[in-house]
Structure 1
């Protein structure tokens, strides 16, 4: 007797139609493609359904191998229900955007491509006078920091980082020998999925039921890291560390002390080295990497509560003076 195959639901919440699900969450979702010189980006917006005035806009970037269309959007939905207009884009090479899957051989270009979409919204008539925040999770935090460096002064009211990748843990660092040997091939190996896989997802998610949901994402990248991706992440981490002194915007950075994917030093070094006059560091004892999608509900609600308190306070403090 054969066991019937288990069909993967089209969405993490199950078979409920998308519009019905988003309405049940109190948000209106739109999806579209944004044309750039580097290819198409898949984009989403999340707006609160209630008629209260929008407090500000938030521009969100997901982590390595992920996308905006699975559990990451739970972060987007939460911010929208707090009264914010949320915009998110799948990075080049991720999700439903163009590009070689999970290839980040030029992170400056990857960041600039997402930034072009974010600025098209941020500079629009609807949002140009409202407070605006960049949000980055994990490797998306690294891309977000590049977007901040690429932006004109005072473009952003504040920055929010969730377990950002600025410092790679020793056991996750790419082998310099591997990178050197592949480098001898004059770039031909740059897109090869040939680097050791350190099983990041198991180090990121504490809640086993949520781990199963995340692993069911049909758009999640499951191959080995590409040579150029690991080379570039290592380079950009070093570059960002060398330029923490340029981070002058208000920011919140949060990290779990048991994060095995991105070192908590990422957040603490940013906090220590940035000259920003409004900076906040939150370290959560014994929490893993995925603070919102991967922790037990009581933990993720604690993190979300701290984020809400921080962003609401900055809107009151700075208003539209950005």
Structure 2
């Protein structure tokens, strides 16, 4: 696996930990955005593939997640999380001026990445959404119907057909295994609505990947969100039999091949735009 290092920065609600997988002369920068209750350390395999593809890779543990400060899984406003991700992106740009940036978000991280793209899209080269929580996510209104959200932990078997993924998730001390916080659910509801109302990503090249058998973030609810934000250059890949974590599935290399091919196509388009005086980053 590619070597990594960590640093911290003062985020909107305290110290955030960023992991970097460096590349001396990157073709592009990849900013990874992790999902609910997990941490960026679960993306070692993805980062390794991207480094070998020519990227310098960065990812922040969100507030209340992983090694970052904050009450566990408490997010009162996801706009703050978007701002923290943007800070990590700006750090990456400062280390590699002029390199195009690809934002890659999974699950809750897909929601954060989509909102980030709505706020900062003109500076991005491309967006990749994996099983994103956008559109309709029934778990939010269901749990908000209770005065206190019940403790209904994620079934690790729903993550991947590779059951070792779920076993590692269950044993990971940096993963949150308790109930949702009500304030976090309310923040989800607000951000889902904001994303839908803000609408199209315009010309930003976007790749959507999703497992057809995703029980945690069902395809049908996400498709409503995709239709709300889709711009002029959306590519989708739906994988038969795959569960929630496409990047950890039994066909993860196929998924990551699709991601890197999409990035290659985008970088070629950027290079062509430069030759005619245009650029996205």
State the TM-score, normalizing by the size of structure 1.
0.78
- Of 37, 47, 64 in structure 2, the residue corresponding to residue 65 of structure 1 is 37
Equivalent residue, structure 1, for 2:84: 113
* Match of residue 89 from structure 1: 60
Matched ranges for 1:104-253 at <5 A: 104-122=75-93, 124=94, 126-151=95-120, 154-170=122-138, 173-178=141-146, 181=147, 194-197=149-152, 199-253=154-208
Quick one: structure 1 residues 306 and 239, their matched pair in 2 at CA, closer, same or farther if it must change by over 3 Å?
A: same
User: SS at 1:42's partner residue?
Assistant: strand
Equivalence for 2:266: 314
Q: In 2 relative to 1, CA 313–246 (structure 1 residues): closer, same or farther, beyond 3 Å?
A: closer
CA contact under 8 A between 1:164 and 1:266: conserved in structure 2?
no
1:159-188: CA deviation from partner (whole Å, max 9, x where unpaired):
01111111344366434432xx46xxxxxx
Q: Which runs of 4+ in 1 moved over 4 A?
A: none
Separation in 2, partners of 1:310, 1:28 = 25
Q: Select which of 64, 72, 75 maps to 1:101.
A: 72
* Distance in 2, Cα, partners of 1:139 & 1:79: 21
* Residue-pair matches, total: 274
Q: How far apart are the structure 2 equivalents of 1:101 and 1:248?
A: 36
Q: CA deviation at 1:239?
A: 2.1
1:188 matched residue in structure 2:
none
Does the alignment pair 1:29 with 2:4? yes
Q: Rg: which structure is higher?
A: 1
Provide the residue aligned with 2:242 in structure 1: 287
Q: Distance in 2 between matches of 1:266 and 1:305?
A: 26
Structure 1's 42 and 269: CA in aligned 2 closer, same or farther, altered over 3 A?
same
SS at match of 1:292: helix
Task: State the distance in 2 between where 1:246 and 1:315 align.
Answer: 18
1:139, CA displacement in angstroms? 0.4
For 2:225 and 2:267, the matched residues in 1 are separated by 22
- Residues 270, 247 of structure 1: CA spacing in aligned structure 2 closer, same or farther, 3 A cutoff? farther
Closer, same or farther: CA 267–282 of 1 in aligned 2, 3 Å: farther
1:158/1:251 contact within 8 Å kept: yes
Q: Contact between 1:174 and 1:195, CA under 8 Å: does it hold in 2?
A: no
Q: Which 5+ residue runs of structure 2 have no aligned equivalent?
A: none
Q: Supply the distance in 2 between the matched residues of 1:105 and 1:247 (Cα, whole angstroms).
A: 28
Deviations, residues 79-132 of structure 1 (Å, cap 9, x unaligned)? 11111011111001100001110111211112212212222322x1x4231211
Q: Check conservation: 2:38, 2:174, Cα contact below 8 A.
A: yes
- Kindly report the root-mean-square deviation, in angstroms, between the aligned alpha carbons of the 2 structures: 2.1
The one of 14, 23, 26 equivalent to 1:54 is 26
Q: 1:42 offset after TM fit, Å?
A: 0.6
Residue 37 of structure 1, CA deviation: 4.4
Residues 135 and 310 of structure 1, relative CA distance in 2, 3 Å threshold: same
**Aligned partners of 1:248 and 1:275 also within 8 Å:** no
Decide whether the 8 Å contact of 1:29 with 1:44 is kept in 2: yes
TM-score of the aligned structures, taking structure 2 as reference length: 0.89
- Secondary structure in 1 aligned to 2:56? strand
